[in-house]
Amino acid sequence: MLHIEHFSKSYPGHKRAVDDLSLHVAPGEIFGFIGHNGAGKTTTLRAVAGVMDFTEGTITIDGHNVRTDALAAKKVTAFLPDNPDLYEFLTGIQFLNFIADLYEISGDTRQNLIAKYGDAFQLTGNLGSPIGSYSHGMKQKLALISALIRQPKLLILDEPFVGLDPSAAHLLKQFWAELCAAGSAVFFSTHVLEVAEKLCHRVAIIKQGKLIRMGNTAELVGDSTLEDVFLELEGDGHG
Amino acid sequence: MAKFLALLKLNFRALLSAIRVGRKKRSFSGIGALALLAGLSLYISGVYSSLLAGQLAAVGALPLLLVLMSLVAVLLGFFFSLFAAQGVVYGAKDNDLMLSLPISPFTLMLSRTLALYLENLVSTVFVLLPAGVIYLWYGGPGGWAVLPLLLVSALFLNLLPTLLTLIIGFVLAWLSGRFSRKALASTLLQLLLLALILVGSFWLSSSINNVETAVPAILSFFQGWGRPFLLLAEGVSGGNLLQLAALWALCLVPFLVVVWLLAWQYKAIITRLSTHRTRSDYKLGKLSSSGQLGALLRKEARRWFGTPSYVFNTGIGLLLLPGAGVAALIYRESIAQFLEMAGGLALAPLLLAGVTFCLSTVAITGSSISLEGKQLWLLQCAPVPVTTILGMKVAFQLLVILPCLAVGWLMLCLAFALAPAEWVLLLVDGLLFALMCAPFGLWINLHFPKLDAVNDAVVVKQSASAMLSTFLPMVLVLLLFLLWFFLLEPLGSVGLLLVYAVILAAAAVLSFLALVRQGPALFRSLEEK
């Protein structure tokens, strides 16, 4: 589903944020991307989502090159940044309709999907209010609903569990499982290693822009925990 | 004290940073922002003072110059800082952080108010000082002591616009937190303020034209509510320290009382203002799709109508166009008499200058990218071509402008009894100007984005892009006006309008080409700024 080949990114006047990263995410897979603050996770996710320009390497989503066939790649993708700022002058339903229009989702389909996810996250009753009046958690739920109604083939999320209440986090995991059962994939970054260990089929650990370990979660962790593995790799001078 | 100074510095920087863009190249410093404010004040004061001084001196009422210019200083300061008070004093995004620090709300409020005061002081000083110099130039009484006394008085007089902006800013912030149609309520209040300011400036302009008969009316106004301004003029010109002390007290006491009241309740006020109520009774009805273009266009419209400061700062020209048309129709007979007296003076090119001036103030696209701010990611990851995103921003500006232009054009043509060819060319030229401004504003905003502003008001009012996208088309209007002097006689009205059409068509094509060629790359690079 997602192929990243030799992706590098430098910011003007700074050293490389990401250096020669290659990884693949298969359909039906939940893939965790782990690393310290500033390791290059967000840079990678933003490049995959087509939000950030890059010149080195190739990224393809469902066979569409993110640079040369950007619109087709974006059409099958849903991206949520770590702190999704939404249009506060729109009401929740206006925002969802806006997203549905951009992704050309038919009226009936959007109605069913908004009802499904809105009810599940207990947000349907609030959809008539301006987003500016929402709490942080409500905004995050609305952003998640806007991503899920696109029925993306690749769901890209930056720290998705920050700010979510336990029941919403539980629901989110259920919906990921649904998406993966339908052949989609989830690619997300997190600092919560317990979540990554429980949820992810595979994980990649990135340090100072370089991939230092990647593999099947169960094999990578073995008898230890992901936290132990992560701390060990961070401490032994990899990268 | 150290905490207070640190806060004052921080808040003053926040006010000035509105105009700053970029990090290295193309960046304006805070000093640059102050210089711009000072320059604008100097220009306004220079023009009004020199116009007034000659006429007032002729009727022996020169001290009235100081009265009128101190009023201008207060109005200008009020106008410059109105939105800043709403955003910086009451609606600052760092309220939670600041209130969690070991600083009293009183200190916080005072530091924010003083930052506002310092910003106002620049315009007050640069209005009063040139007025004082021109006053002395025309031989006003008081000698050179007038200037230091004016400067000291400016420190106190400046408390008035700060006080007014604090009160109005509070009302606006209160309205925006209370009403379900808060944007509409806030826009209406701001339009009311604008109407008052316009009435004031018309009154000032008519006073300039007819000073001799207006002097008694002016004096009677300043005996009442305008007393502080009269005290300033009498105190400064007569060196009367008692009157000056009275002025200082009149400015200082209400300011301290209001600031003390607001500061005392500051925490409660901003807590109440930041509290929102969310309804939970929405029922999902039947939904329908409307396509990408409609979605983008509706989003632009909802942002514009839902952001009062955006409407206020970019919508005045839209009101002026039909307003001028209505006024022209009402005074149709007077216009006909004037035209008869003027002996066939070609007014169509001058009308075009007026129409294009109004259009240049409608720089909606000039802030359109900046206002995306932290929501830019939504458009950047959307499966929509960048040209479509930019195109819809341009289209929205044109959609808003065209009905007002058409109505204004029709009424002006009827009122001024233009020839058929002039009717057509006035409309064509107006359309071409509108077609030039919309992509030009967007192109400027892509070059000078302000994506990290503390609030929307500073983007639409003080950002470099908002200023450039308004003032640069005005420079073109000025050039067209200058051509009127040189080319009207050889070319005639229709010929001159044709020349304008060629110039404006070329400008429109250039601005479209610049946007089409550079726009997508600039848009994609926004994230890294």
- Residue ranges of domains in chain B: 2-9+25-273, 294-528
Establish if A112 touches chain B: CB-CB under 8 angstroms: no
H and E: helices and strands count for chain A: 9, 10
Sign of CA dihedral B95, B99, B105, B109: negative
**Could you give phi then psi for residue A3, rounded to 5 degrees?**
-125, 115
H and E: helices and strands count for chain B: 23, 0
Tell me, what's the pLDDT at B51? Answer: 82
A124 contacts B284? CB cut-off 8 A: yes
User: Which of chain B's residues have a Cβ under 8 Å away from the Cβ of A138?
Assistant: 278
| CATH number of the A1-76+152-239 domain | 3.40.50.300
In chain B, the residue whose alpha carbon lies closest to the alpha carbon of A75 is B383
Q: pTM of this prediction?
A: 0.77
In chain A, the residue whose alpha carbon lies closest to the alpha carbon of B382 is A74
- Residues of chain A numbered 162-181 and touching chain B (CB < 8 Å): none
A87 contacts B378? CB cut-off 8 A: yes
User: Which of chain A's residues have a Cβ under 8 Å away from the Cβ of B299?
Assistant: 87, 90, 98
Nearest CB partner across the interface for B276, out of A50, A93, A133: A133
Q: Is the pLDDT of residue A230 over 60?
A: yes
Close Cβ partners of B359 (under 8 Å, ≥ 6 residues apart):
B317, B321, B401, B405, B430, B433, B434, B437, B473
Tell me, what's the pLDDT at B104? Answer: 79
Burial class (CB in 10 A: 0-12, 13-18, 19+), B475: exposed
Q: Which two tokens stand for residue B188?
A: 């209406």
User: Which of chain B's residues have a Cβ under 8 Å away from the Cβ of A102?
Assistant: 292, 295-296, 382-384
B528 contacts A46? CB cut-off 8 A: no
Nearest CB partner across the interface for A126, out of B278, B382, B528: B278
B278 contacts A103? CB cut-off 8 A: no
Alpha-carbon distance A93 to nearest alpha carbon in chain B (angstroms): 9
Alpha-carbon distance A203 to nearest alpha carbon in chain B (angstroms): 24
B525 contacts A110? CB cut-off 8 A: no
Q: Inter-axis angle of helices B464-524 and B386-415, to 10 degrees?
A: 140
Full pLDDT tens readout for chain B, 529 residues: 777 777 777 766 666 665 554 444 444 555 666 777 788 788 888 888 888 888 888 888 888 888 888 888 888 888 777 766 766 777 777 777 777 777 777 888 888 888 888 888 888 899 999 999 999 998 888 788 888 888 998 899 899 888 888 888 787 777 666 665 666 666 676 677 667 766 666 666 666 666 666 677 777 777 777 788 888 888 888 888 888 899 889 889 999 898 888 887 787 777 777 766 667 788 888 888 889 999 999 999 999 988 877 888 888 888 888 888 888 888 888 877 777 777 767 788 888 988 999 999 999 999 999 999 889 999 999 999 999 999 999 999 999 999 999 999 999 998 888 889 999 999 999 999 999 999 999 999 999 998 887 778 778 877 888 888 998 999 899 888 888 888 877 888 899 999 999 999 999 999 999 999 999 999 988 865 4
Q: How many interface pairs between A and B have CB atoms less than 8 angstroms apart?
A: 118
User: Angle at the Cα of B168 (from B167 to B172), degrees rounded to 5?
Assistant: 120
